[in-house]
């Protein structure tokens, strides 16, 4: 992009030849702070903005109390699902007792402590 034969990638460093950062950095930052404070003061001065809530929402005219209702599920639904699981796997298809590891040979889940 060329505008009036200006090449930003090659010529932007030249601003620091005119503006010495050791002299102008703190005044530039102070000017940015003043602008930021002015914008915030204006924004907080707008109606319904800032820390205070609007007057209409600050004092509600009427408070409605709603009672809590506790709904307890019936355990019958869980008990009905258990027989269906038993019917799905017949006893004949179960593994023979010889293939299952005896309880004495199985590793304990937790080591014994004294």
Please indicate, yes or no, if residue 26 is contained in any of the structural domains: yes
Asked if pLDDT for residue 37 goes beyond 90, the answer is: yes
Please indicate, yes or no, if residue 82 is contained in any of the structural domains: no
The answer to whether the Cα torsion of 97, 102, 108, 112 is positive or negative is: positive
If we measure between CA atoms, which residue out of 25, 26, 29, 49 comes closest to residue 37?
29
Note the pLDDT tens digit of each residue in 51-67.
775 665 555 567 677 77
Domain containing 38 equals 8-49
Please indicate, yes or no, if residue 21 is contained in any of the structural domains: yes
Residue-wise DSSP of 83-99: HHHHHHS-GGGSPPTTT
Q: Across the chain, what does the average pLDDT equal?
A: 73
Q: Total domain count for the chain? A: 1
Please indicate, yes or no, if residue 55 is contained in any of the structural domains: no
Residue carrying the six token digits 């005219």:
61
Please indicate, yes or no, if residue 80 is contained in any of the structural domains: no
Residue 98: pLDDT band with limits 50, 70, 90: low
Top pLDDT among 88 and 111 is at: 111
pLDDT at 48: 80
> 17 near 11, Cβ under 8 Å?
no
């Amino acid at each position: 992009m060329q505008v009036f034969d200006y090449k930003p990638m090659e010529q932007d460093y030249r601003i620091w030849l005119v503006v010495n950062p050791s002299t102008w950095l703190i005044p530039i930052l102070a000017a940015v702070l003043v602008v930021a404070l002015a914008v915030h003061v204006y924004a907080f001065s707008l109606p319904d903005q800032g820390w205070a809530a609007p007057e209409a929402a600050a004092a509600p005219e009427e408070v409605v109390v709603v009672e809590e209702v506790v709904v307890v599920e019936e355990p019958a639904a869980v008990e009905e699902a258990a027989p269906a699981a038993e019917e799905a796997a017949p006893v004949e298809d179960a593994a023979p007792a010889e293939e299952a590891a005896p309880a004495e040979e199985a590793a304990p889940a937790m080591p014994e402590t004294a």
